[in-house]
Amino acid sequence: MYLPDFDYYAPGSLEEACGLLRTLGPGAKVLAGGTDLLVKMKHGLVVPEAVVSLKALHELKGITYDPDRGVVIAALATHNDLVDSPVLHKRFLSVSEAAHQMANNQIRNRGTVGGNLVNAIPSADLPPILIALGAQITLVSRASSRTVPLESFFTGPSCCVIDPVDEILTEIVIPNQPTTGSTYIKFGLRRSGALSVAGVAVAVTMAGDVIEDARISMGAVYPVPVRAEDAEKALIGKTWSEALLEEAGEAAACCALPISDIRGSSEYRLDLVRVLTRRALRRAITEGHV
């Protein structure tokens, strides 16, 4: 399998990249780690006339903490940057742990957070935990900059609200919050290098044994990463118990609409949602790390 011919651009700044995309038009594609784009190009599924690499854009690298905004993850942060980030270890360990469950070491060294989100496959591992933690993303073009809640970013399998012609995802912000426990649990068919058959992320705020707030977000069981709002409602204001977690698992399954495919039937995925929701809630409630 060979890559088709294309023109390659390596802008040195975000401004230059946005200008290039505007000039080149719809025939150009943004390249980050290339773990999705280059595979699609080799299979002839995407045939861009030009590729604009973001690799030299230092302003799109790094994971920092801003006391006013929260944790700021630049779009070119790789999955292994998330795994190793002291900032995330201190504030949102669950995001590091979610990244650690992805792919294999080689892909984690190249694949980026921005690419994972813009690629918008329903089974992607980072959206559920980032949505559970209320993340916002920034999209920049030559003419504008806008902030979008990640929860409303995805519109369908491989579809999202980014303007495919000239918008670049620049950063993901996880806001400061009172959350007392969060986690993401993924079920894949192998221990590493496997896409999710189903994945559930939760973020809870506990006051003693009472669940003050709960956010549950699921991957691979709906055309987009989706909140299990009925399950959240079943939990909020209640004292936690195993029976309550069971009820929440049932409610989460009612919010899912999984497909049957080579990795699992829809019935199997619904069962996974019940089990993973219970497990994720139990872990977030009892282990109490965010």
Under the rule (CB under 6 A), what is the footprint of ligand FAD? Answer: 29-37, 39, 54, 75, 102-103, 107, 110-112, 114-116, 118-119, 124-125, 162, 168-169, 193, 195
Closest distance of CB 83 from ligand FAD, Å = 13
Closest distance of CB 99 from ligand FAD, Å = 9
CA distances from 11 to 31, 134, 172, 186, 260 (A): 11, 32, 22, 37, 42
> Is 228:217 a contact under the CB 8 Å cutoff?
yes
Tell me how far apart the alpha carbons of residues 178 and 38 are, in angstroms, rounded to a whole number: 40
Q: Estimate the share of the chain in helix, then strand, then coil, as percent rounded to the nearest 5.
A: 35, 25, 35
Residue nearest ligand FAD by beta-carbon distance:
115
Alpha-helix residue ranges (DSSP H) falling in 101-228:
105-110, 113-119, 126-132
Considering the complex, state which of residue 31 and residue 214 has its C-beta at the smaller distance from ligand FAD: 31
Considering the complex, state which of residue 17 and residue 216 has its C-beta at the smaller distance from ligand FAD: 17
Closest distance of CB 250 from ligand FAD, Å = 27
Considering the complex, state which of residue 21 and residue 234 has its C-beta at the smaller distance from ligand FAD: 21
Closest distance of CB 236 from ligand FAD, Å = 29
**H or E stretch covering 226:** strand 226-227
**90 exposure class (CB count in 10 Å sphere: 0-12, 13-18, 19+):** exposed
Alpha-helix residue ranges (DSSP H) falling in the chain:
14-24, 37-42, 79-84, 86-91, 93-100, 105-110, 113-119, 126-132, 229-235, 242-254, 266-287
Closest distance of CB 9 from ligand FAD, Å = 13
Beta bridge pairs of residue 285? none
Considering the complex, state which of residue 110 and residue 142 has its C-beta at the smaller distance from ligand FAD: 110
Considering the complex, state which of residue 111 and residue 249 has its C-beta at the smaller distance from ligand FAD: 111
Closest distance of CB 103 from ligand FAD, Å = 3
Q: Is the dihedral of CA 249, 289, 122, 141 positive or negative?
A: positive
Considering the complex, state which of residue 124 and residue 132 has its C-beta at the smaller distance from ligand FAD: 124
Q: Return the number of other C-beta atoms located less than 10 Å from residue 283's C-beta.
A: 19
Closest distance of CB 35 from ligand FAD, Å = 3
> Is 117:108 a contact under the CB 8 Å cutoff?
no
> Is 28:18 a contact under the CB 8 Å cutoff?
no
Closest distance of CB 162 from ligand FAD, Å = 6
Considering the complex, state which of residue 169 and residue 185 has its C-beta at the smaller distance from ligand FAD: 169
Considering the complex, state which of residue 112 and residue 183 has its C-beta at the smaller distance from ligand FAD: 112
